[in-house]
Amino acid sequence: MLPVLLIAVDNTVLSFAVPSISESLRPGGTELLWIVDAYPLVLAGLLVPMGSLGDRVGRRRLLLIGATGFAVVSAVAAFVPSAPLLIAARAALGFFGAMLMPATLSLIRNIFTDPVQRRTAIAIWAAGFSGGAALGPIVGGFLLEHYWWGSVFLLAVPVLVPLLALGPVLVPESRDPEPGPVDPVSIALSLGAMVPLVYGIKRIAEEGPTATAVLAIALALALGYGFVRRQLRRPVPLLDVRLFANPVFSGSVAANLLSVFSMVGFLFFVSQHLQLVSGRTPVEAGLVLVPGLVVTVIAGLAVVRIVRHVRPARVVAGGLLLNAVGYGLVLASGSAGSDGGLLVAFVVLGAGVGAAETISNDLILSSVPAAKAGAASAVSETAYELGAVLGTAVLGSILTAVYRTNVVVPGAVVGDDARAAGETLGGATEVASGLPDPVAQALLESARHAFDSGVVITSAIGVVLMVVAALIALRALRSAE
């Protein structure tokens, strides 16, 4: 659970450090973009190869190698003197991080052979993610308030040292007894497909469908097609893509992706509303979200008992419908949604995500042989990463488009300030801080109304997507026990 908690905290804490990094290292716009993106791009590209490698060389061995590398690079990253070196450190963290997550889930699959124990362990594993997501804003805010930006990287060292000390004693080794040969071409194709795919989606979310983004996605699809063809031809593939012919496996992967999609998309606009509309600090905004994340943990643990009496398909579909209800509460509140209403909506959504994530991850692992757990875990992790990227990209792009259409920038605001205010609520808030009061108030009122209009439309789309996802889960998972 230690690396799970760390990775979850690391996913959310860096965004809070970006302003401090900008002031200290003075990166250019492109450099700042790569400081943020280098980690998830490398991570997404290497999850499948690292999961397969863990099956071959030993999951515990890969976990300890990844933990050692992650701790060392984190310590180095805290003290780098320039933006290019920080980009390199973030990429290295993605490399070692890709070793951690598939290894943790595949070890659980091999340690716990009893279905009830396995589901409980996976629920606790998922709780580590939710707990880390809750701690990220709070811990990050505290560290940045009292120390320098590098302290958010040093956080990895005290978390991973106990793992390195106790892991060889407490964690049993496991591996595929009949591993295939390492296939460098498949690894290159996997990396070549995932990196431009994630990059293209992230660019569309931030800049719209530019030629670069479209070309990146086209390249990803072409290399992905080559990857699938190669796996089908090899006697021992890097990833057995025939697993996706199993409706329980493919349906569970889809449910996993869409659950994360719903949570990340929701957090995208809620975190902005709490800070830019309600005027809360990052730590205060994080505390408002804690009840929903706690309910995510509780729901994940409770569903282990529920699934003994209710078929998994209905549990997963029920979780996805709760996600729809969460979005529906935001939709019903309209543009005058209160912080309390958002808290309740996130609690409902958290319950749905906790239920759907726990059972879908369990079905992914239980639908494949234990020897192939690393590869299956990597698919689950890849779905998680893609869900997170798509949640921001799809719902974030729609929200931004509605904002741009509806915001009215006062005539007194011109040039770069007008462009910034017309792009995002954050830009409008920053520009307003330097304007005379009457103009600032007019801009902020228009920007907040435009943002909340976008939230309403985004929530309506979220409701429809989650209802469709629930219907797909009912059909695809109906044979699951």
- Domain of 108, CATH number, reads 1.20.1250.20
Regarding whether 335 and 221 lie in a shared domain, the answer is: no
Same domain, yes or no: 190 and 325: no
**Domain end (from 133, 163, 180):** 180
Residue 124 lies in a domain: no
Q: Are residues 94 and 65 in the same domain?
A: yes
pLDDT at 221: 94
Residue 217 resides in a domain: yes
307 and 452 share a domain? Answer: yes
* Structural domain contains residue 122: no
SS (H, E, C) 71-123: HHHHHHHCCCCCHHHHHHHHHHHHHHHHHHHHHHHHHHHHHCCCHHHHHHHHH
Tell me, yes or no, whether 198 and 289 share the same domain.
no
* Total number of domains in the chain: 3
Which tokens hold the place of 200?
A: 């293209």
Cα 275 to Cα 428: distance, rounded to the nearest angstrom: 13
Residue 410: the pLDDT is: 85
Report if residue 56 sits inside a domain: yes
Q: Are residues 194 and 158 in the same domain?
A: no
Q: Same domain for 290 and 217?
A: no
- 18 shares a domain with 3: yes
Q: Is residue 228 part of a domain?
A: yes
**Inside any domain, residue 334:** yes
Q: Which domain holds residue 19?
A: 1-114+149-180
User: Looking at the structure, do residues 388 and 472 belong to the same domain, yes or no?
Assistant: yes
pLDDT at residue 29, as a whole number: 66
**Residue 392: its pLDDT value, please?**
73
Q: Per-residue pLDDT for the chain (481 aa), expressed as one digit of tens each?
A: 888 888 878 766 776 677 678 778 888 767 877 887 788 888 888 888 888 888 888 889 999 999 999 999 999 999 999 989 999 999 999 999 989 888 888 888 888 888 888 888 888 888 887 777 767 777 877 787 788 888 889 888 888 999 999 999 999 988 877 777 778 898 899 888 888 888 888 777 667 788 988 999 999 999 999 999 998 998 888 878 888 888 988 999 998 888 888 888 888 788 778 877 888 877 787 788 888 888 988 998 899 889 888 999 999 999 999 999 999 998 887 654 578 888 899 999 989 988 998 898 888 888 777 777 777 788 887 887 778 777 877 887 788 888 888 888 888 877 878 888 887 787 888 888 888 888 888 888 888 888 888 888 889 999 999 999 999 999 988 887 6
Residue 79 in any domain: the answer is yes
Together in a domain, 276 and 365: yes
The answer to whether position 168 is within a domain reads yes
pTM: 0.81
Q: Quick one: 29 and 84 in the same domain?
A: yes
Q: Are residue 172 and residue 268 in the same domain, yes or no?
A: no
Q: Is 210 left (phi over 0), alpha (psi -120 to 50) or beta?
A: beta
Those residues whose C-beta lies under 8 Å from the C-beta of residue 425, and which sit 6 or more positions away, are 272, 276, 277, 403, 447, 448, 450, 451
- Residue-level pLDDT at 74: 92
Say what the pLDDT of residue 314 is: 93
DSSP-derived letter for residue 171 is S
